[in-house]
Amino acid sequence: MSLDTRSLGYTGEQLTGVGLGTWAIGGGDWQYGWGPQEDQESVAAIRRALDVGINWIDTARVYGLGHSEKIVGEAITGRRDEVFLATKCGPHWKEDGTIYRRLKAASVRKECESSLKRLKTDVIDLYQIHWPDPPEDIEEGWTEIAKLVEEGKIRYAGVSNFTVEHLRAVQAIHPVASLQPPYSMLRRGVEDALLPYCAENNIGVIVYSPMVCGLLTGKFSKARLAGLPANDWRRGNLEFRAPAFEANLALVDGLKPIAERNNLTLSQLAIAWVLRRPEVTSAIVGARRPDQIEETARAGNAALSEDDVRTIENLLAQRQETIAAAS
Ligand SMILES: NC(=O)c1ccc[n+]([C@@H]2O[C@H](COP(=O)([O-])OP(=O)(O)OC[C@H]3O[C@@H](n4cnc5c(N)ncnc54)[C@H](OP(=O)(O)O)[C@@H]3O)[C@@H](O)[C@H]2O)c1
């Protein structure tokens, strides 16, 4: 099955509807780790993603404190030409692993050099500011990224977690190829202003955590949550705690018949739902094992009917009411 592609904003680059996200394969040994992860399994997952036709990968220097980039670099050795490679800068870590953020020019440049080495490549296709923080340094960091484009170390410049105001500020300096915001059935903050703004300004949109970090896959239960390793950050996330967690499990139950009648799995349905918006270029979908990405890759080719979208709206409204009543 060949995977459908969409154009990344003004760049015209064709990305598959699903891109592989590599946060979880950074492993458990840091503040936002996902518990133990075997590197061999991570490499196999990345290679399977390419085997099934996914043509782009998202990583970040901070994922696993450099480990995710290193694993991506290893996995794509000999296959660099098959991948549109995206990474991010900004977050740093102290010796005790605590994360802080920097966007000073010298810091951005140094980060880029280190990412190129870990990724074992001469050029990064998409280099993104991970967070608009510290706000007073956004323009300085972006100006340096524009220089890195001129020097040929990166091909395109993008941003993540930016508001419309942040986008306006950096667009005046250098064109923005892409925005990477959160978007899922549970996080819809981008719908009213950011998605239309990106469409009007020809900015590609690559959305993250479409399955809410695994919560919408149908593989979560109270027992699974209780058994998560102590160093899996999801334990502390509000969507995985009462009263939201119970309401989220009920939502997933309600989604099952919609998935079934479309011949989709729940994971595929969650991804197809974010891709229903034409402003969205691609969904960044995390995977820790080859079978996971093999399943989700196909979601980029699925289309939902208006009736399905309406039914999902009703389920989401019910979820809100349940949470409000329990709070
Ligand atoms: N820019 C940012 O600030 C930012 C923030 C978050 C994420 N991101 C990017 O977006 C990517 C995707 O987001 P995400 O990883 O947070 O969440 P996600 O894609 O919603 O969920 C990924 C997780 O779901 C589970 N999963 C994946 N495929 C599955 C399947 N077929 N069946 C059952 N479970 C499955 C896996 O975890 P388990 O098997 O452990 O359940 C996997 O790690 C990240 O990897 C990262 O590249 C960026």
Q: What local confidence, expressed as pLDDT, does residue 48 receive?
A: 98
Ligand 1: residue whose CA is nearest its atom 5: 208
Domains and CATH numbers, the chain: 5-217+274-301 (3.20.20.100)
The residues near 133 (Cβ < 8 Å, ≥ 6 apart) are: 90, 101, 103
Per-residue pLDDT at 271 exceeds 90: yes
Of the chain, the percentage scoring pLDDT greater than 90 comes to 97
Mean pLDDT of 291-315: 98
Q: What local confidence, expressed as pLDDT, does residue 28 receive?
A: 86
Condensed to tens digits (0 to 9), the pLDDT of residues 99-153 reads 999 999 999 999 999 999 999 999 999 999 999 999 999 999 999 999 999 999 9
Greatest C-alpha distance within the chain: 56
Name residue, tokens 């820790």.
288
Dihedral angle at the C-alpha atoms of 127, 133, 134, 135, nearest 10 degrees? 100
Cα 176 to averaged position of ligand 1 atoms, centre (Å): 25
Query: Alpha helix locations (H) across 4-89?
Result: 39-51, 67-75
Ligand 1: residue whose CA is nearest its atom 21: 213
Q: What local confidence, expressed as pLDDT, does residue 54 receive?
A: 98
Residue of 62, 71, 83, 288 best suited for mutating to test ligand 1, as the one with most atoms within 8 Å of CB: 288
Specify whether the CB–CB gap between 156 and 178 falls below 8 A.
Answer: yes
Mean pLDDT of 286-310: 98
Specify whether the CB–CB gap between 227 and 36 falls below 8 A.
Answer: no
Condensed to tens digits (0 to 9), the pLDDT of residues 229-267 reads 999 999 999 999 999 999 999 999 999 999 999 999 999
Assign 97 a pLDDT band (cuts: 50, 70, 90): confident
Length reported for the chain: 327
Residue of 46, 217, 220, 240 best suited for mutating to test ligand 1, as the one with most atoms within 8 Å of CB: 217
Specify whether the CB–CB gap between 109 and 141 falls below 8 A.
Answer: no
CA distance 2 to 83: 16
Mean pLDDT of 155-172: 98
Per-residue pLDDT at 190 exceeds 90: yes
Condensed to tens digits (0 to 9), the pLDDT of residues 21-70 reads 999 999 988 999 999 999 999 999 999 999 999 999 999 999 999 999 99
Cα 209 to averaged position of ligand 1 atoms, centre (Å): 5
23-43 burial string, b = 16+ CB within 10 Å, else e? bbbbbbebebbbbebeeeebb
Condensed to tens digits (0 to 9), the pLDDT of residues 193-216 reads 999 999 999 999 999 999 999 999
37 lines ligand 1 (CB under 6 A): no
Assign 288 a pLDDT band (cuts: 50, 70, 90): very high
* Number of other CB atoms surrounding residue 133 within 10 Å: 16
298 lines ligand 1 (CB under 6 A): no
Q: What local confidence, expressed as pLDDT, does residue 327 receive?
A: 82
Residue of 20, 23, 267 best suited for mutating to test ligand 1, as the one with most atoms within 8 Å of CB: 23
Ligand 1: residue whose CA is nearest its atom 33: 217
Per-residue pLDDT at 90 exceeds 90: yes
* 3-class secondary-structure state, position 39: helix
Cα 56 to averaged position of ligand 1 atoms, centre (Å): 15
